[in-house]
Amino acid sequence: MPDAVVVEGLHKRYGGVRAVQGVSFAVEHGEIFALLGRNGAGKTTTMEILEGFRARDAGRVDVLGLDPGERATGRALRERIGLVLQDIAVEPYLTVRETIARNAGYYRAPRDIAEVIGLVGLAGLERKKVRTLAGGQKRRLDLALGMIGDPGLLFLDEPTTGFDPGARRGAWQLLRDLRDAGTTILLTTHYMEEAQELADRVAVIADGQIVAAGPLATLGGRDTARARIRFGLPPGTTVADLPVPAVPGEDGLVTVESAEPTETLHRLTDWALRRDTVLAGLTVGRPSLEDVYLRLTGHDDQRRTDHDHSAPERAPEGSAP
């Protein structure tokens, strides 16, 4: 089966700013794919082109077998995709149920309204006006609007912004369930934990270019990176007393990097046991997704102004396909 999304050599310029420069990636059917990048990296522009809201300058884009830039197939595409944007314009004086029912009317075969309300955790709030919803409740409504058409492909832009930790984990499980039922999901997020929990594969975009892509376990060389051993220094000791080189951190822990963590751990624990002391808070791990992301995106660099947000506004949500 062809991939759900194919992007090859995508380019987009706003005046003198090259927002997207030769971006290429593919999203397989039935997977959760995360597009990560700092504000201004080009991910929003890329998503808007895939959704059909913005024209590209060059490159190939295929979404569920259709070109989102072709007007002739625009309705057919919108029938098959769902959108959960950062800012969705909905009528504030409609109730939750009325809002979802209105959007359901845009599709030939929508999901059951009551089922969707229950899935997103809005049961009991059906008669509540949109304007009275709390931030997290509005985000759940956004998710319901994206799901109501029973899409084969769901675009999610920062899907759990405003959620408390419990609601966020509930939303994650819902997205996993959708994926397991066959829905392909393409999301952007600033929460590295969210990408870690949800994504089957990830692409990192910086300055309009893909700088790394692949499964989480191998992204940016995570699988071959030196292990990090961290612990608190025993009382009365210094870094110089340790049997291996270590670097103190601002959090009171020291870090030892090693290509042979088993041997290094043996030396450290043997040293501690011979002194009848404890290596408090001892942990061993490879660089986290956040570590890799910050390195790939040049977090400490001064980069150009966010060109995504200086671009024209995206078309409003809620318009009929």
DSSP string computed for 75-89? HHHHTTEEEE-SS--
CB 151 within 8 A of CB 81: yes
Confidence of residue 299 (pLDDT cuts 50, 70, 90): low
- Domains of the chain, by residue range, sit at 1-80+151-223+286-312, 89-150, 227-285
| CATH among 1.10.3720.10, 3.40.1280.10, 3.30.300.30, 3.40.50.300 for 1-80+151-223+286-312 | 3.40.50.300
Q: Diameter of the chain by CA atoms?
A: 76
Interatomic CA distance for residues 144 and 117, integer angstroms: 7
What pLDDT does residue 286 have? 80
pLDDT at 150 over 90: yes
pLDDT tens digits for range 97-126:
999 999 999 999 999 999 999 999 999 999
Interatomic CA distance for residues 123 and 249, integer angstroms: 47
Torsional sign, CA 56, 36, 174, 184: positive
pLDDT tens digits for range 181-221:
999 999 998 888 899 999 999 999 999 999 999 898 778 77
Please tell me the pTM assigned to this model.
0.79
